[in-house]
Amino acid sequence: MELNIIEALEKQIRYVLDKSPFYKKHFKIYQSIGETFSLELFHQLPFTEKSHIAESNDEFLCVSQNEIADFVCTSGTTGQPVSIYLTEKDLNRLAENECASFQMTGAVSNDVFQLMTTMDKKFMAGLAYYLGARKLKAGLLRLGPGNPALQWDSILRYNPTILIAVPTFILKCIEYARNNGIDINQSSVKKIICIGEPIRQENLSWNALGKRIIEQWNVQLFSTYASTEMGAAFTECEYGLGAHVNEKLLYLEVLDEDENPVQNGDSGEIIVSTLGVEGTPLIRFKTGDLAHIYYTPCECGRTSPRIGPIVGRKNQMIKFKGTTIFPAAIFEILDNFPEIKLYQIEVKKDNLEMDQLTILLEEEMEYHETMFLIYNALNDKLRVKPHYQFLPYEDLQKRIFPKEQRKAQKIMFC
């Protein structure tokens, strides 16, 4: 490990011991780390859990109120939303991260980005992409999410070269183009940076979602991984061999169930420590996300560690009739069927505290000839027979895209 990474880590540790009410208590036994800092000492520090932030949110704040430049919050997909406070320096760090991420994909200042995600509702990602494009000195079209007609009007009028979008929405844009006589492969779009959903399998090949896009649209797809808490993103390079960590901004650990580092190519939980953060720094933060880690040099020449797609979340593990399933495995099967326009997975506990699994589909699918194939695919690949419920399209859409949520609710734990 380069010395400057260790120095950055030490600087962040000393900062939180001095400024953070939470870490002054959480790291009490290590309050005085003396003159010599080591990774051995660092790995003795207790983890930061999501529950810690939820229960003591404002105790993580390290600056005064008048130093907060921007307020963001998590989506609340896996629990109560929590607030993250950004100083002017943190905003510059965010811009640096996304600019580096764009450059990872081969983007240059001559590119024009079309941002197909929100910048409002205290959403960090949209803000980050905006700041990154500004730092890259590229053009940016702020369209926001939804409305394929508006997206295509912008594409055909302004000729953006790179889209930033949730991949399932890209499928809706492809469908709109097909229905309205638009030749997508004659458009200006060359690359799509995919956020919020995986487009690769564990072996780094395309998953069903990624395949459906590239089989129809001759573009380069790039996978990303990010969270509001870390204030940074992992992004694929043009070789598609995993998403690179920005080691100037994050210290990464990937640990097994016994909290030991996993070997190259193995999977474990992603643990991050922010570097250079002023407002809400986090040390040894357990994301709950599980992914494979790759330490070998990438074909692009970079030596930074890379992670594969998120294979599951520890708090979203489903135990159904003796089988352990992650939602991503179900998503992968359902995404293979273009006939399915919308779906939601519902997980409830029965009287014996066992998970009961129901797949909600739009009502026109109930007697569709494809349902037989869907039943068989789920039974064969997961060896389970979930319940099915069929709802009107509008009702299902409201469940998946509630107004109070920023992200699609593809799974609900009731």
Calculate what percentage of the chain has a pLDDT beyond 70.
Answer: 93
Task: Please tell me the least confidently modeled range out of 131-135, 181-185, 304-308, 350-354.
Answer: 350-354
Q: Are 278 and 87 in contact (CB under 8 A)?
A: yes
Q: What is the pLDDT of residue 31?
A: 66
**What average pLDDT does this structure show over 170-185?**
96
Tell which residue, 249, 250, 225, 247, has the closest CA to residue 236: 225
Tokens coding 140: 């940016």
**What average pLDDT does this structure show over 263-272?**
96
Q: What is the pLDDT of residue 312?
A: 82
Residue type, 176: Y
Q: Are 262 and 270 in contact (CB under 8 A)?
A: no
At 380-409, the pLDDT tens digits run 777 778 889 999 999 998 898 887 666 778
Tell which residue, 172, 122, 177, has the closest CA to residue 145: 172
Residue 279 has pLDDT above 60, yes or no: yes
Calculate what percentage of the chain has a pLDDT beyond 90.
Answer: 68
Residues with Cβ within 8 Å of 83's Cβ and at least 6 positions away in sequence, in order, are 57, 58, 71, 72, 73, 122, 280
Q: What is the pLDDT of residue 207?
A: 93
Residue 292 has pLDDT above 80, yes or no: yes
Q: What is the pLDDT of residue 233?
A: 95
**Model confidence at 112, in pLDDT bands (50, 70, 90)?**
very high
Q: Cα–Cα distance between 22 and 398 in angstroms, integer?
A: 38
Q: What is the pLDDT of residue 76?
A: 60
Listed by start position, the domains of the chain span 88-312, 317-413
**What average pLDDT does this structure show over 276-304?**
96
Q: What is the pLDDT of residue 351?
A: 66
Q: What is the pLDDT of residue 2?
A: 58
Q: What is the pLDDT of residue 354?
A: 66
Residue 77 has pLDDT above 80, yes or no: no
Tell which residue, 143, 86, 78, 134, has the closest CA to residue 111: 134
- Start-to-end C-alpha separation, the chain: 44
Q: What is the pLDDT of residue 353?
A: 63
Tell which residue, 370, 372, 375, 367, has the closest CA to residue 338: 370
**Model confidence at 311, in pLDDT bands (50, 70, 90)?**
confident
Higher pLDDT residue, 95 or 332?
A: 95
At 13-63, the pLDDT tens digits run 999 999 999 999 999 877 666 667 788 889 989 999 999 999 999 999 999
Superfamily of chain region 88-312 = ANL, N-terminal domain (3.40.50.12780)
Residue 3 has pLDDT above 60, yes or no: no
**Model confidence at 119, in pLDDT bands (50, 70, 90)?**
confident
Q: Are 357 and 411 in contact (CB under 8 A)?
A: no
Q: What is the pLDDT of residue 74?
A: 83
**Mean pLDDT score of the chain:** 91
Superfamily of chain region 317-413 = ANL, C-terminal domain (3.30.300.30)
